[in-house]
Amino acid sequence: MIAESHADVEKDSGNLGFQGMDFDYLNTNEVIGKMFLQLTFSDWTEKLDILNTAIDEKNSANSKSQRVRQFTESEFLTCIGLLVGAPEYGVKGTSLWQNNNNKKMESNWLSIMPHPNFDCYIPEYRFRHFREFLPFIYHDNSIKKTDPWWQFSGAVTEFNNNRLRLLKGAKVKAIDESMCAYRPRTTSTGGLPNISFIKRKPEPLGLYLCFVFTFTYFSTNIFILFYFLVLLGTEFKVAACPKTGCLLHLEIQRGKAGMASQKYQQELGATAACTLRLAEECITPEDDRCHTIQGDAWFGSVKAAAALGRKGFRAVLQVKNNKGLFPKDYVEKALEDAPGGVHIVLKGTAPNGIELLALGYRYSTKTTLFFVATADAGSTRPGKEYEMKYTDDHGNVCVRLVERPDIISNFFADSNTIDKHNQARQFDLALEKTWLTQDPYFRLATTLIGMNVVDTWKLADHHKLLNPPGTNEEAKVTIKRFAGMLCYQFVTNTSAFTSAPSRPSRMLAEISLGTSINTPEISDSTTTITDNKENLHVPIRSFKDNNGLLHHQVRYPVGVSKRGNGDL
Is residue 87's pLDDT more than 90?
yes
Is residue 14's pLDDT more than 60?
yes
- The whole-number average pLDDT for the span 533-551 is 60
Please enumerate in sequence order all residues whose Cβ is within 8 A of that of 413, keeping only pairs 6 or more positions apart, or say none. 242, 384
| Distance, CA of 136 to CA of 152 (rounded, Å) | 9
Is residue 552's pLDDT more than 50?
yes
Is residue 270's pLDDT more than 90?
yes
Residue pair 351/333 in contact (Cβ under 8 Å)? The answer is no
The string of pLDDT tens digits covering residues 139-148 is 999 999 999 9
Name residue 236's beta-bridge partners: 178, 252
User: Please, where are the H alpha helices in 167-301?
Assistant: 255-259, 265-268, 270-281
Task: Write phi, then psi, for 469 (nearest 5 degrees).
Answer: -55, 135
Candidates 185, 232, 186; CA nearest to 208 is: 232
What pLDDT is recorded for position 216?
40
Candidates 435, 378, 448, 381; CA nearest to 411 is: 378
Phi-psi region of 20 (alpha: psi -120 to 50; beta: other; left: phi over 0): left
- The whole-number average pLDDT for the span 164-175 is 95
The string of pLDDT tens digits covering residues 498-523 is 865 444 434 434 433 333 334 333 33
Candidates 424, 413, 409, 371; CA nearest to 178 is: 424
The string of pLDDT tens digits covering residues 303-323 is 999 999 999 999 999 999 999
User: Please, where are the H alpha helices in 298-379?
Assistant: 302-310, 328-334
| Distance, CA of 34 to CA of 26 (rounded, Å) | 10
Average pLDDT score, the chain: 83
Q: Which residue has the higher pLDDT, 1 or 410?
A: 410
- The whole-number average pLDDT for the span 63-78 is 93
The string of pLDDT tens digits covering residues 466-477 is 988 888 888 999
For 413, which DSSP code? H
For 134, which DSSP code? G
| Distance, CA of 419 to CA of 202 (rounded, Å) | 8
Q: Which residue has the higher pLDDT, 334 or 219?
A: 334
Q: Which residue has the higher pLDDT, 86 or 194?
A: 86
For 2, which DSSP code? B
Percentage of residues in the chain having pLDDT higher than 70? 79
CA-to-CA dists, residue 30 to 163, 225, 289, 455, 462, angstroms: 21, 53, 34, 17, 17
Is residue 409's pLDDT more than 70?
yes
29-43, 107-121, 150-164, 464-478: least confident range: 107-121
For 532, which DSSP code? T
The pTM of the full predicted model, rounded to 2 decimals, is: 0.81
User: 206 falls in which pLDDT band (50, 70, 90)?
Assistant: very low
Q: Checking DSSP bridges between strand 172-181 and strand 550-554, what pairing results, if any? A: unpaired
